[in-house]
Amino acid sequence: MLAGGKTNGKNQLCHFICCRELSHLTRSMTATKPHGKWDKGPAVEANRAIAPEELKVEFPSIDLPIRPPYPPMEARPVDTIPAGDNWIYEPKWDGFRCLAFRRDNEVLLQSKSGQPLGRYFPEMVEALQQLPHKQFVMDGEIVIVDGGKLSFDDLLMRIHPAESRIRKLSRDTPASYLVFDLLVDEKARELTERPLSERKKQLQQFFKGLRNRSIRLSPMTHDLKEAQRWMLELSGSGFDGVVAKRLDMPYTSGERTAMMKIKDIRSADCVVGGFRYASKGGGIGSLLLGLYDYDGKLNHVGFTSSFNIEMRAKLKPIVEKLKDGSGFTGSAPGGPSRWSTERTGEWEPLQPKLVCEVQYDHFSGGRFRHGTKFLRWRPDKDPKLCTYDQLELRGERRSLKELGLTA
């Protein structure tokens, strides 16, 4: 389907190829990975609980119109997939967002939070150096496929201090780079002010004739029904939902105005601002979650305690090394009350360095209404980016007027 809603034979063929590529993508990427499973263990392992600031390294200079760190375009969460001829739909990959910069033989990889990623994915740097184009800036997602499914755990395993370990993992569990936007083309022309419809055409031309198993175009469709099918049929493969983008918008760096995300589950990235010890055994009872407001204050918004005994033991050294921090600088957890014992009411403030993703069912009144489910650590996410913006427009904010009530 064209931007204006019309179709022709060529575009129907492109649409067919796009859908076929999506359905076979995980199989083709799995083909590059040796058989066998990794014993990854619990998702709270210490080697994955890395504060994003520990990844900070200065980027070397690179002669391009856009240089790292460059804030990528952000997505606004919504409940339903928007419809209309002015939208294009893409899979929401469960991976590491990555901007790739190349000038001659210099390749730089930047995470969503503006940190270097090249050290952790040397096979991606090598693959980008092998492209015939000598200069460009691309936006995409780094993913790893394990057993036909996307594996975020395998990505987290890469964030490791030992280069020898990283090199081994890059051979045993190679990553792929799925590209969905072109910000600077092979002639060093900046494209960020051009509409997405034009950038997509430039991206298709950029990839014309390329044969690289590690770097490929991310599938897309103009067909709303196809996007809805992705939501229904591909969630079991580790896909994280659907992204909808405005075809008439420029690349809105650091903003949530041109792109929306629709997920199967409601999740949020939160800062761990404190914790409580378990009432028995001395382990960790719960992690206290926070989000930053517009004044830059970290507010307590809830907790997560979905850990088994083994996980609680692993959590203890992770959080205790960050004790005696500033904790919550805005609203803080309450102390003991008649509903809680002195032990369960006490909490320990932490340095606000750890970010985790949690699943929740309802957010209102400035907090999660129930306990949340711990999903994973997010070392790729800057704590300062954990704001209320990611929770807006999720069907929870309805004015009294919309409900038929007026003053």
- CB atoms under 10 Å from CB of 153, counted, come to 17
Cα separation, 198 vs 191, whole angstroms: 9
Nearest to 178 by CA among 213, 216, 122: 216
Cα separation, 218 vs 210, whole angstroms: 14
Nearest to 304 by CA among 354, 364, 375, 365: 375
Nearest to 373 by CA among 320, 296, 303: 303
Exposed / middle / buried, residue 184 (Cβ in 10 Å: 0-12, 13-18, 19+): buried
Rounding to the nearest 10 degrees, give the CA dihedral for residues 309, 311, 317, 320.
-80
Cα separation, 398 vs 407, whole angstroms: 15
Nearest to 15 by CA among 241, 242, 230, 226: 226
Cα separation, 337 vs 347, whole angstroms: 13
Please provide residue 90's backbone torsions phi and psi, each rounded to the nearest 5 degrees: -135, 155
Cis amide leading into 71 (omega within 30): no
Give yes or no: 92 in active site.
Answer: yes
Nearest to 141 by CA among 68, 218, 66: 218
Q: Can you tell me whether residue 377 is helix, strand or coil?
A: strand
HEC profile of 28-75? HHHCCCCCCCCCCCCCCCHHHCCCHHHHCCCCCCCCCCCCCCCCCECC
Please provide residue 23's backbone torsions phi and psi, each rounded to the nearest 5 degrees: -70, -25
| Candidate list 33, 92, 263, 314, residue with the active-site label | 92
Q: For residue 106, what are the CA distances in angstroms to 59, 156, 158, 350?
A: 11, 25, 21, 39
Q: 146: which strand partners?
A: 149
Q: Any idea which residues carry the catalytic annotation?
A: 92
